[in-house]
Every structure is written in structure tokens, then in C-alpha cells.
Structure 1
Amino acid sequence: MAPLHSKSHTSLGSRKSSIFNFIQQPPQPDVYYVGVDVGTGSARACIIDTNGIILGLSERPITRHELKANFITQNSTEIWNAICYCVKNCIRESGVDPEDVFGIGFDATCSLVAINEKTDEPMAVGPDFTDHKENIILWMDHRSVDETIEINSSGDKSLKYVGGQMSIEMELPKMKWLKHNMPGGINSCKFYDLADFLTHKATGSEARSYCSTVCKQGLVPPGVDGSTTGWSKEFLLSLDLEELVEDDFRRLGGIPDKNGTFLSAGDIVGKLTAKSAEELGLSTECIVGSGVIDAYAGWIGTVAGKVDNPTVSNKLDSKNNGTILTSCGRLAAVAGTSTCHIAMTKEPCFVQGVWGPYKDVMAKDYWLAEGGQSCTGALLAHVLAIHPASNELSHLAEASNLSKFDYLNLILENLVVDNKSRSVVSLAKHMFFYGDFHGNRSPIADPKMRASIIGQSMDSSVNDLAIQYFGACEFIAQQTRQIVEEMEKGGHEIDCIFMSGGQCRNGLLMRLLADCTGLPIVIPRYIDAAVVFGSAILGAVAAEEAVQEHIHKKGKSRRSSILETQRSQTSLNKVGSGVQLGDGQHSPYTAPTATASTTNMATLAYASTQTGSHHQFPTMTPMTEETDYFNQPPQKKPFSDEDDSEDEQTLSFGSKSNVQKGLSQKLGNLSLKPLTKTTDTSPGAKLWKVMEKMTGPGKVILPSDENHPDRKLLNAKYKIFLEQCYKQQEYRDLVDGVEAENIKG
């Protein structure tokens, strides 16, 4: 984790009377939920109880193919098999009876899946159209450049709701490319976003999610801007996509509430089919919740978190009216290779360069917006990889038993002492690092943007690498401030940033984010598992009524009767296949405890052993200064970058499943109550209720006082950052104009 100092904001005594030291309510016996997350490089699954405690976590890599430049594909059969392996494995790890899993939720990357309408089998998406196993065009596939340009030149009103223009990462340009390049066209196809395909595979339902279709396929929900059918017949016909219009848009899932079912996050899709239940190792009474794009599962898994700072807690609580409206003002930053910034509002807020506003994605009549940085984790990995001292850093960090980032942070501390600098921030006062190496997603939405670095010398030492690394971290933080400011100009009111992902362990980066934005940064209980945890919440939301019936009838519900009948007929398949700092002090930017993993929370446990359950919970370790949740020592074992999935290079410091393993039954100490029946039928009520009960505590990092010297310096450098951003565009226009005249001449 990444605290402000090596000590928490609150004293141990005050914490003993806070929500973090109330006795954990025991979970409801025999009630569990599974979450599935499909990322770019791996599939993972977790199982949670009614308090949101992860009891088991499993991960398996998945492959992607690039047979031709910019053509990147995946295999839906491989992904489903990986999911089945992970679900069975995490259930086995937890010791939970599969029949006690009431709900399952899915999230995935926003990739396009092509399926044969008649056979429901995969269809090849090229470049090798004879290979029908490769039926997914990955989100990062950039084959549809011309199609994207044509769509964005149409001026259709749907573009207004995707930040002004469609991204090449979205799915309509990919469908248009297939129309003109697939042998025989798309007459045999139906299309799904990957998350929707997974719920289809699990249930057989053709239901689609508003998250997938609104965010990535161009659906404008009925009632928005005169839309009556969701899809625009005129728009699709103008793009030569008459096949998508046939039979009231059946290939896209149909028209909402006519011939198609479209659902918000966690709405019930259906129960598992007999086939999918057997493959997943679950029962046919397990209920499937409507899925979301992976970053949105990160929003679900973080923004309802409690914090350890009374100032921030009181401010957030003052806006808590018990409905999902409470989440408005809480920005989720879901970080990996790139970072997505997701915020909810009650009314639509239009921000140039920020995708959305998207209606009904999380809850009926609420809107979400999605900003983003195309290069954050990948930026830090790139800066380390290209520097002449890269290999030296690897050897030194390994010899010191530290991660590369912790080692660089300690080098910066040493440089402060050696150079008699005022602070770590002032070390890099003449380093002006603008890091859009891979274009800009938000807020200027310019894919032609590139990096510019002012202040480089011929120094090729590890010390110079540390300064450039600091510059990259500062860039990420300054650009986050730029995104937040643009969102606030468009009507958002951002109070707090809820982070997730491996970058949370970088104390330097988290402190810079707080000081650049001037906002509290909240680190979640589950750093690496926030997304898959969010998908498990989707399963809990969908299964809530079944759970209430089960609890109310004390395990003698209709569900129980059905399972008893099934047990008498068949047996379910339950298993499947060193640096020293000069004066011994650390700045709040680089204190070693700022990067301690959340696995340190494993010293906590449930208060009592739950009897009558399939799963036993140990007694809670007494809270002492040594076992203080907020002041755990850093990990001592070596970190390994080789185990990380490709979509979070070097940032997790080890496999996600290993990082979170052992958290089962040991992450108590929350004042959460078992699920209780609610009569609130307002939009998003069930989702928010479950999120609040399950999300648990987060660690808050407060910005320094606005008159602090580092804040003043960062404010001055922000002006330079903005000049580097907009001047680059001016310079390009200038030389492009000259070149145009040269070519004409």
C-alpha cells in the first residue's frame, strides 16, 4: 500500500474505536459468489463470502496472436476453458461447496466476438479466415483505421455520447472492417462484446449489457436525444452495414424492450445452463449477473470503500444518502498498462476527449464518463527499459531484495542527502517530462501526440535513471490533474480518487497524484484483485433475492429443494482440472512502508469461528502495535517481474494470484453486516447496497497543504506541462502547413 507517511493519519488509540476495529460480523453460512475477470493477458476468478472477503483466487494466462501488424486476435474457446479452470481452482482452494455459490459475474476487455448465428460456433475474424478458433478482435487491434475515420466523419448524434468521436478501440469500426473483408461478408455472423459473450456462454441468453453496447458499440438508450430504438438505422445504413439493421438489429441483440433484452450492471441474465454449470463446476441454480467492461468492474470494486482518515470519511459520509447517488464525485482510476478514469453523475456531463456520457450503464437513469491515459504502467516500464542503466538497476534491485521502483525511490532519497536538496520533488525541478509516447486518450484525444523531455544530459547512471523515473511519475500525476480539471469544467464534481492496480504500491506515484490533483487518493483493500472482486459483486447483486429467500427460510428455500433433487439424480463435479538512506529518514514520497503489499492485511482474521458452515474461520489476532493494519512492514522476499501478466508490466511485483493468495478468511475487521432485505427499489439500489456492504476499508493519502513548498513547485511545473502539451500541437500544425506547401510546389 501507499500511505502518506510511515504512520497512518490516525493514532492506534483512535483506530481502536473506528469502523476498522469493530468485530467482523460472521458471514451468512453457505452463501458465496464467484467473479470472473478476463484481461488482455490472463483470465482470473475469485470466490467471496457475504462480507466481501476473498476466499480463493486463481489466474491462468491466455494467448493473443498478431499474424500481421495491427491485427491482434484471441480465441473465445481458450478463454472459456481458462475461466472454467480458474473457477474450479478457486473454489477448490477455498473449500466451499460449489452448490453454495449463489451468483456469478463476468467482466472482460472490450473486445469483439464473432459467432455463427446458426451454429453458435466461433467464426474467424482474420487475417487468416480459415482459422475459426481466432474469433475475437482484441480491443488493441488497430486494423480498422479507415473505417474509424469514415464513422467519425458521419456526424451522427451517437458520436456525441462517446466523447465526440469513436475510438479505433471500439467495436463498430471492427464490424465494418469485417463486412468488407470477411469472405462472404457478415451474413452468417452475430456479434457480442466479450463480457456479453461470456454471459451468453453461461446462460444461453441473448441479453446484452448497456455497458458494452453503449460504451463501445454506439447504442444510444431509448429516450436519450430522441432515440427510440437504441440503434440508429440511418447511421448504420450510411456506413453500408445493412446486415446489422436486419430484423430490428438482431445481430446486435435487438431493440431494447422489443425483441432484445438490455441490462444494467448486476441485473439478472439467467441461471447457468447444465452444460456451463458442469464446465464451471457450479450448480444450475447459480444466477448470472449482467457483465461489464473490465475497467467498470474496477469502479464497482473500489468506490464504495471506507477510508481510515476522519476528514475524508466525514466528507464522503456527508454526501451519503444511502443510494447510488452517493458514488457521484468519487473518481475510480483503474490502472494497468493504461489507466481508465470513471465517474458517475446524475445528469449528463459532456467533456471533450472524455468518453461518454453513457446512460444506464451501472444504474437506470445514471450516467458514467470514462477518461483515460493510454500509457501509464507501460510508460514506467518503457522508461526503465530504454535507459542505459536498465540492466544495472535490475542487478542492484535484485541484490537488495527490493522491487525496481522501491530501489529507485531509495536512490532518490539518497540524492536528496547527497545533493543537499530541499526535497525529492526539487531534485527534478529542471526535468520537464511530457510522456504521451503512445498518443493521448484524454483530455485532448489526439493519437498523434508524442513524448517530449526537456532537461536530459549525457549522464547514463542509475542516478539519472531515478530522475527520469521521477519525471515519468510526475507526468502521470500532472496529466491526471489535467483530466480531472477538464471533467470538472464539464460539470463533474470530483471529491476523491479511488485507485486500483499494481501502481498503488508505488508510494512515490501515489503521493504525486495527491499533491498534483489536490485530492485524497484512496487505495483499496484489494489492490490487484479490485476488478475481479467487482465482478463477484455483480454475481451477488443478481443473486440477492435468492439469498434473501434462502436466509429467510433458513436454508429450506426453493433453491435448496431443487439442489436436493439434483443431488439424488447426479453428482456435481466439484473439482477441475542493498541501498541505505544517508540519515535513516524517509520522505513521504518514498517511505518503504508506502509500497507494502496488501498481503500484510492477512494478519487479520474473523472474530469467531462460524459453526454450521462448510467453511471455518479462525479467531482474530489481537490488534497490537506489531500487527497494526496501517503500519505493516514491507515484504522481505524478492519480487519477480517475470510472473506479471503483460497488461500490468512490472507493476504487480509478482503474480496477481500470488499477491492476493492467503487473504481468504483473514481480512476481517470491517463493520459490515450480513445481507438484509431491502425495500429500496430506486435505480441502482441493490448494486450500491451490496457494494457498500462488501467493499471494505481503503487507505487514504491526503495531499500536502496547498502552501507546502512541493505543492507550489508542482503547481508551477503544471503550467509548463500544459505548455508542452498544447505547444506540441502548434508545432506540428506549423511544420505540417509548410510541408503541405512544399508538396504542392
Structure 2
Amino acid sequence: MPPLSKSHTSLASRRSSVFNFHQPPPQADVYYVGVDVGTGSARACIIDTNGVILGLSERPITRHELKPNHITQSSTEIWNAICFCVKNCLRDSGVDPSEVFGIGFDATCSLVAISESEDTPVGVGPDFTDNKENIILWMDHRAEDETNVINATGDKSLKYVGGQMSIEMELPKIKWLKHNLPKGLTDLKFYDLPDYLTHKATGSEARSFNSTVCKQGFVPLGVDGSTTGWSAEFLKSVDLEELVEDNFRKLGGVQGKNGKYLSAGDIVGKLTAQSAEELGLTTECIVGSGVIDAYAGWVGTVAAKVDIPTLQELAEKSDGSIGTSCGRLAAVAGTSTCHIAMTRDPCFVNGVWGPYKDVMAPGFWLAEGGQSCTGALLAHVLAIHPATAELSRLSEDSNISKFDYLNLILENLVSETKSRSVVSLAKHIFFYGDFHGNRSPIADPRMRASIIGQSMDSSVNDLAIQYFGACEFIAQQTRQIVEAMTKGGHEISCIFMSGGQCRNGLLMRLLADCTGLPVVIPRYIDAAVVFGSALLGAVAAEESVQEHISKPKGRSRRSSILSTQKSQTSLTNNQQEEPHSPYTAPSATASTTNMHSLVYPTGSHALMTPMDEGAEENVDYFNQPVAKHKQSKSFAESDDSDDDGEQTLSFGSKSNVQKGLSQSLNKLGLKPLSTLDSKKVNPGDKLWKVMEKMTGPGKVVLPSDPHHPDRKLLAAKYEIFLEQCTKQQEYRKLVDLVESENIKGLKV
């Protein structure tokens, strides 16, 4: 594997911005796999016991829209893509399959239809003869009428999904299938995609609280008088009596009777012989209960180690339970952004889905807000502006991203126009960006964008201002969501980001200054979700790991079983399909931060603050404010580092990671990662302990002082933002009233 390219930033900048945190050396021969299935691709990673990613692979998956609003996928294609990625990770990392103890899955919240009698895919239309297309994707909107019928019931279960069921959820899709499939719901059973993947891996019919509670209307036992989880009265009222048969068999059954429901990371079972062979693993690999992809982002980020006084105070007062995570808002960003927070008690917030009980840990509640378009908004603003072609040419000529180039333009404009700051530069642009409706906290799909302050300027400079306005909108709307959640009972102390938007220093600074909250950027920016899934595998396998390491080498129960089996995994991995042509191969993805520089880095937590006492200030809205501290000689400066101080530990094979590492780490006096306390812990606490041990450090962007001119200006513009939001609704109501009277007049 060729060496990764070096950063072009200065040594001082890298030391202050990389995740400088002492990591213990790897604990030998214990690894975990994570699988993430998004809308457009499947990916897998393999991590060691310190949470270091040793292999990462991605493969595209297709989706079909043969008819408007009918969007389908194939579970067969998805499983094959998963197997390809897992085998790639094993090959690239050099990890022996027998050393992989656990695997976790996450996926989009899409409906999978399977034959009960044959356990095979069943086509979901519009071409019902194509059984390969057996998934109705989350973004499929075919079931609009069915959604309206379900919400018209006003059933009590609806208050636990934000007051009404979304067209993206499962029951409306099932109702549509009943009335459109040639044989209705006969011989069908249903899974949310994460639950289907654990079924495919283990053969178990266990379901997750995460999928069933968040997307299918399941109300955990004891909540609001629920005794079975599913409501027979509710399902019959919406003409889905087939789902009630045999204690709700088609949906997963009743807990303790014919069904099993699990929280995140609980043990589902071991890989079957067939799935183990297909994945290139062993039948002793334990599968953890999966989650929806955004929730894997929560798992992979909110335990990041950061020097934030508020969090440190709360941690000192905590009992070490998963309740420590309460108040940490995970913002999982991509095309859209999901905002997920945990509480000890249920908090009902208008426009925010939930509260959901037990979906991460028994006895705890989660809420899920969101912005319908964030990454898509920034892309849209660039796409519709007359100067977008010129921006593409200029950024390509400069060999930097479009967003970095726009940030550079803004920086130059401040100087050229003698403006006070970038925020002041755009003070008369009032950008409200709900181009695709509003999910939270208005929950109004009819909301649209409005921009005040536009001129006839069509230059790249104007595009930069419009882009800033879109970034400011994302940050102001995040503040609106945080305030709504706070009003509903949440106590949010910081925001843990993930996704490619973390690379945008301008956006991260605006998020901190608009919300007044610290923004934490994870160690693995682009891989936080799949990393979170790997942690679920680590949680499920913990007892197996404990038993293995407590015995002399090769004498654990697990080792004995594997040694007596005729293993096919080595043959499978040695004879797996040849790599794709370099012209067509799906690329393996990596975090934007060079991952080789993150393998067991050393130093202090990277704390980025605009006003750190005694530090040389270097504040801007583009590179994120960095406080430069005096550094002691670090591992980056040791004899094993290159000529400009870049850390040279490679991302990739196990042997490369460990080669030459022991001596350097021994000099630092670091000890191997300790295992979890053998004392009995609650399932949620086990999850939290794994998250704390493996998540690693994060960077922090702290908000400016409340009296800083930019904070004051953004606060003033927030009031205008709120008025733009409410006025649009008032204007729409006014014209709708007039138009309804006009229609009545025409009928007369």
C-alpha cells in the first residue's frame, strides 16, 4: 500500500489540530467489524481494541425508481456488497478472521419484505415479478394516502413518533403493500433493514427496539399501558389485521412469547456457517443488535474524549453509566442532518420524533430531530448560481475544494471591503433555506426558502456571500432545534458532529457561535457511523473476549471450538474474487484526516478555542480557531518521524500498524488497554464503557464570548430568522384563505 500523502499545513498547525491524545498500544489478536448500509453504498471497517480503524472499504449499491415515488433496492445486492467490503477489510488489514470476535450492523430505516415459508426476498413493486427488488427505501413516498389514514386515527402510539407517523416509516408502506400486492400480505414477514441484516447473519428472528420503536410504532412494555409492544386495536383500525395474527408474528412477535427485542449491542447470536463463509469470518463471531444508521453515528461520536469543563464536571458527578451521555447532542450530517439526544426521562418536543424508550439502553429515552437538507442545501446553492462554472474552474486550478475556495474568497473580501469580519460582510443577507420542507422543529413539509438581500450580482464573490448565508441558516436552524429541545426538557451541553461537513471550518464556527455550544469533531469524520457499528460488535462480544484473554493462549472455549472445526475462512480469503480493474473498482474510503496520523497519536487533547489564556490567538472562520500551545517533544518529533514532523504510522495492515510501534510506545510508558470491569454491569453501561474506551479523542470548537461582535450580530439575525419562519406560515395561511374563498365563489 503506497504511503498516504502528507498534509500541506504547517507542523505547528498540525500539532494543534490533529487529535493529540495518548493511546495505549493495541491489545493483540482481538478485533471487531462494523457494517454500515447507506442509501447509496455499503461499507465496512475493522477496528482493534483501542478503536483504531485498520481497514475500511466501500461499495456502491443501486436503487431503482421505475415509477415516480416508488424507490426500491435489493437485499441480495446489499448483502453481497457487505460481504465484498468485509473481505476487503480483512485482506487489507492482515487480520486473521479467527481474531474477529464481534460484528455490528447499521442501515437505513427501509422496509424489507421476505417470504415466511421460504425466507427469501419478495418483490415490492411496481414490478411485482422482480423478487430481487424487495426493499422499499426510506425515501419512497408511494404511501401518502396510507400515511394520512394512519395519522387520522390519533392512536396513542403516534405521540411517541413526534405526534404523527412519517411517510418514510414502515406501517404506511406495509399498508400500501396489502392493497397492491397480488396476494396481499399472505406469506410475508417484515424487517427494518438493520434487523434484516442481523437475521441474515444469524438466522435469528430477534428485532431491535431501535428499528421497531423508532420506525414501526412499537411501544415498549410498560409505556403508556403497553403490554405487548404492538397494538392490535390500532393495527385493526388501519386495516392491517393480518399483522395481529399469531401474536404479531409477521412483525417479530411479542417479547417473552414468540418474539425477542434487543437494545443496541445486545447479543443476537453467532454467525451461521453460511454467513460466516460469505463474510470471510468464523462461526464464533458474535453479532450485536443493530441500529438505524444515524444512531450508529451517536454511538460513534458522543463518547469522544474532549477537554470541555462542563462535560468534565458532569463526568465527575456521574456513576459511569450510559446516563453520562445525557446532554450530548449527536448531529449526524450528510445530505440531511439528524439530531439525536438521550434523556433519563421522556421529553416530548413538537416537531421532534420520539421520545423512544430502550432503543439504545434499557430505561433511557432518545429523541430525534433533524434538518431536511444541509449538505444538499450547500450543493444546491452552488448549483443554481450563475458563477458555479467559474467557481469550479478556479477551485480546480487552485487544487482545493469548492468550499475551501469560497472560504478563501470570503477572507479576501473582508480585507478588500474593509469589513469588520466575515459575519459583518454578510450582515444584510437574510437566508432562510427550507427548500425541501421543514422536519424540526416546525414539522411542516410545505416550508420553502426565502432570501432577502439579493442583488443582480452574478460574480463568484456574490456566490461566496450566498454560500455564507446558507451556512448561517444551517447554524441558526440548529439553534432553533436546540432551543425547542431545551424547552421540552433536554439539557444540551454540547454538539458532537460527524460527516463531511466537519471539514468546513466556517460552518463549524458558525454552529458554535449561533448555538453558544461547544462543537466536537470526531476522530473519524467520514467513518463515524461505520465505526459506531463496530462498537456494537465489541459490546456483544465482550464476554467472549473476557473469557478468551483470561485463559492461556489457545485454551479458551472459543479457541478450542475454532481449532476443532475445519476452517474454510483462510481458503475463502486467499481465493476471494480478484480485485476489480483499477478503472472500475469501488474506492475504499477514509476519513478526511489522514488516518495513518491517527493511529496511536500522542500529546494532549486538541482544544480549539478563540480566547485561550496564555495562548497565541489565531482565530478565523475558515480553519476553525486554533490556540497554539507550547509543545513538549512528541512522538511526531521522534526518530521515527519524517523530516517535517508528519507522523508516519500507516493506516492499513495489522503488521504495518504494529511494526516499530512497541518500542516507541514503551518509551512513553503506555500500558495496554484494560478490558471492561468483570463486575456485572447493565447492558447500557456495557455499551457506554466500550464507547468511552474506544471512541478516542475529538477536536473542539468553542463558541466566542457572548459579547463578541459576531455573536451579537448573529443573535440579532436569529430574531430575523425566526420571523422569516413564522411570517412564511402566516403569508401562506392568508393567501390560502383568499384562494379558498375564490374557489367557493367560482362554484356558486
- Fold match (TM-score > 0.5): yes
Per-residue displacement from partner, 1:432-469 (whole Å, max 9, x unpaired)?
Answer: 00000111010010011111111111111100000000
The residue aligned with 2:689 is: 689
Paired position in structure 2 for 1:639:
none
Q: Which amino acid aligns with 1:599?
A: T
Query: Quick one: distance in 1 between partners of 2:715 and 2:640?
Result: 38
The structure-2 alpha-carbon separation of the partners of 1:319 and 1:43, relative to structure 1 and needing over 3 Å to count, comes to farther
Flag the 1:154–1:318 CA change in 2: closer, same or farther, 3 A: same
SS in 2 for 1:697: coil
Q: What is aligned with 2:126? A: 127
User: Number of residues paired by the alignment?
Assistant: 681
Does residue 719 of structure 2 align to residue 716 of structure 1?
no
Residue 665 of structure 1 is aligned with which of 653, 657, 677?
A: 657
Is 1:602 paired with 2:599? no
Residue matched to 1:44:
43
- Specify the alignment match of 2:523 in structure 1: 525
Tell me how far 1:627 sits from its aligned partner.
11
Post-superposition CA distance 1:44-86 (Å, at most 9, x none) = 0000000000000000000000111111000000000000000
> Deviation of residue 675 (structure 1)?
1.9
Contact 2:269/2:288 (CA < 8 Å) preserved in 1? Answer: yes
Q: Secondary structure at the match of 2:534?
A: helix
Q: Which residue of 2 aligns with 1:580?
A: none
Q: Is the 8 A contact 2:339 2:369 kept in 1?
A: yes
Pairwise CA distance, 1:317 = 3.1
* SS at structure 1 position matched to 2:636: coil
- Unmatched runs of 5 consecutive residues or more in structure 1: 578-595, 609-619, 635-658
User: CA contact under 8 A between 1:497 and 1:519: conserved in structure 2?
Assistant: yes
For residue 339 of structure 1, what is the aligned residue in structure 2? 337
Mapping of 1:302-451 within 5 angstroms? 302-307=301-306, 309=307, 311=309, 314-451=312-449
Cα distance per residue 1:61-119 (max 9 Å; x no partner):
00000111111000000000000000000110000001110000000000000001111
Shift in Å, 1:314 = 2.8
C-alpha contact (below 8 Å) 2:636/2:645 kept by paired residues: no
- Report the alpha carbon displacement of residue 26 of structure 1 after superposing the two structures with TM: 2.4
Amino acid of the residue matched to residue 490 of structure 2? H
CA drift of 1:184 comes to 1.3
Given candidates 500, 506, 513, the residue that maps to 1:502 is 500
Counterparts of 1:152-167 in structure 2, within 5 Å, are: 152-167=151-166
Q: Kindly tell me: are residues 261 and 176 of structure 1, through their superposed partners in 2, closer, same or farther at Cα, counting changes over 3 Å?
A: same
Q: Please tell me whether the aligned partners of residues 280 and 569 of structure 2 are also in contact (alpha carbons under 8 angstroms).
A: no
Give the letter for the 1:473 counterpart. Answer: C
For residues 674 and 436 of structure 2, the distance between their equivalents in structure 1, rounded to whole angstroms, comes to 46
Alignment of 1:718-737 (within 5 A): 718-737=718-737
Counterpart Cα distance in 2 of 1:319 and 1:444: 35
Cα gap change, 1:262 to 1:468, in 2 (>3 Å): same
Q: 1:378 to 1:8 in 2, by over 3 A?
A: farther
8 A contact 2:431–2:469 mirrored in 1: yes
Runs of 4+ in structure 1 off by over 4 angstroms are 5-12, 568-572, 604-608, 625-629, 631-634, 659-664, 666-672
The residue type equivalent to 1:714 in the other structure is L
Q: Is the 8 A contact 2:93 2:653 kept in 1?
A: no
Query: Quick one: distance in 2 between partners of 1:315 and 1:672?
Result: 27
Indicate conservation of the 8 Å contact 1:99/1:283, yes or no.
yes
Aligned to 1:557: 556
Question: Compared with structure 1, are the counterparts of its residues 462 and 93 closer, same or farther at alpha carbon in structure 2 (3 Å cutoff)?
Answer: same
What amino acid is aligned across from residue 742 of structure 1 in structure 2? N
TM-score (norm 1): 0.87
Identity of aligned residues (%): 76
1:43-442 equivalences under 5 Å are: 43-307=42-306, 309=307, 311=309, 314-442=312-440
Give the letter aligned to residue 349 of structure 1. Answer: C
Match of 1:454 in 2: 452
Cα shift readout 1:349-406 (whole Å, capped 9, x = no counterpart): 0001000000000000100000000100000011101111111101100000100000
Partner SS for 1:214: helix
The 1:390–1:276 alpha-carbon spacing in structure 2 relative to 1, beyond 3 Å, is: same
Q: Deviations over 1:199-221 (max 9, x none)?
A: 00000000000000000000000
Judge conservation of contact 2:11–2:645 (CA < 8 Å) in 1.
Answer: no
CA distance 1:37–1:174, shift in 2 (3 Å)? same
The residue number in structure 2 matching 1:705 is 705
Task: Give, in whole Å, the separation in 1 of the partners of 2:58 and 2:347.
Answer: 37
Between the aligned partners of 2:183 and 2:519, the Cα distance in structure 1 is 52
How well do the aligned residues superpose, as a CA RMSD in angstroms? 2.8
Per-residue deviation, 1:20 = 4.5
The offset of 1:316, in angstroms, is: 4.9
Q: Specify the SS of the correspondent of 2:687.
A: helix
Normalised TM-score (structure 2): 0.87
Match of 1:648 in 2: none
C-alpha deviations, 1:299-335, integer Å up to 9, x for none?
000000001x453553453354311010000000000
Q: Give the Cα–Cα distance (whole angstroms) in 2 for the partners of residues 78 and 365 of structure 1.
A: 37
Shift of 1:694: 0.2
3-state SS, counterpart of residue 441 of structure 1: coil
Question: What is the alpha-carbon distance in structure 1 between the residues aligned to residue 435 and residue 672 of structure 2?
Answer: 44
Q: 8 Å contact 2:281–2:569 — kept in the other structure?
A: no
In structure 2, stretches of 5+ residues that fail to align are 1-8, 578-589, 603-632
Instruction: Say if 2:92 and 2:652, in contact at 8 Å, map to a contact too.
Output: no
Whether the 8 Å CA contact 1:347–1:367 is kept in 2: the answer is yes
For residues 562 and 139 of structure 2, the distance between their equivalents in structure 1, rounded to whole angstroms, comes to: 43
SS of residue in 1 equivalent to 2:112 = strand
Distance 1:528 1:570 in 2: 29
1:712 positional shift:
0.3
One-letter amino acid of the structure 2 residue matched with residue 665 of structure 1: V
Q: Which residue of 2 aligns with 1:588?
A: none
Query: How big is the shift at 1:258?
Result: 1.6
Instruction: Summarize the Cα distance change of 1:673–1:598 in structure 2 as closer, same or farther, 3 Å threshold.
Output: farther
For the 8 Å contact 1:626–1:632, the answer to whether it is kept is no
Distance of 2:273 and 2:160 partners within structure 1:
39
How far residue 678 of structure 1 moved from its aligned partner, in angstroms, is 2.9
* Residue 9 of structure 1, CA deviation: 11
How far apart in 2 are the matches of 1:131 and 1:330? Answer: 44
2:378 partner letter: L
Alpha-carbon contact 1:41-1:64 (below 8 Å) kept: yes
- After TM superposition, give the deviation of residue 280 of structure 1 in Å: 0.3
Q: Is the 8 A contact 1:196 1:209 kept in 2?
A: yes
Compared CA separation, residues 562 and 740, structure 1 to 2 (3 A): same
Q: 2:266, 2:683 within 8 Å by CA — same for their partners in 1? A: no
CA distance in 2, matches of 1:625, 1:515: 38
CA distance in 1: counterparts of 2:534 and 2:341, whole angstroms: 20
Distance (whole Å) between structure 2 residues aligned to residue 607 and residue 60 of structure 1: 29
User: Separation in 1 of the partners of 2:338 and 2:652?
Assistant: 26
Q: d(CA) in 1 for partners of 2:87 and 2:407?
A: 40
SS at match of 1:562: helix
CA distance in 2, matches of 1:633, 1:467: 35
In the alignment, is the contact (CA less than 8 A) between 1:25 and 1:674 conserved in 2? no
The answer to whether the 8 Å contact 1:112/1:193 transfers is yes
